[in-house]
Amino acid sequence: LMSVANHKIDGFVKQGRVGAESLKYIKRHAERLLIVNLIGTTIVTVWISSLATVAASGVASLFGLS
């Protein structure tokens, strides 16, 4: 996505290709994409860790370890 040259994106926009304007915006504001990606990854990591803790706690209680 980030490796596409700006002149190619401009050509896509002139051709009226679907999503070309969105691609141009994303490329121009790459830092926003990275921030959203990092926040989303952090949220998913915390959620999965919590889920794994609950599952491990349930398994431990089945074996009388809690």
- Judge contact between 26 and 18, C-beta under 8 A: no
- Judge contact between 24 and 9, C-beta under 8 A: yes
35, part of any domain: yes
In angstroms, the CA 29 to CA 47 distance is: 28
47, part of any domain: yes
Count of domains forming the chain: 1
What is the extent of the structural domain holding 28? Answer: 6-62
Instruction: From 33, 27, 34, select the one nearest 10 (Cα to Cα).
Output: 27
Q: Is the pLDDT of residue 66 over 70?
A: no
pLDDT in tens, 29-53: 999 999 999 999 999 999 999 999 9
DSSP assignment, residue 18? Answer: T
22, part of any domain: yes
1, part of any domain: no
Which amino acid is residue 35, in one-letter code?
I
In angstroms, the CA 44 to CA 32 distance is: 18
| Average model confidence (pLDDT) across the chain | 93
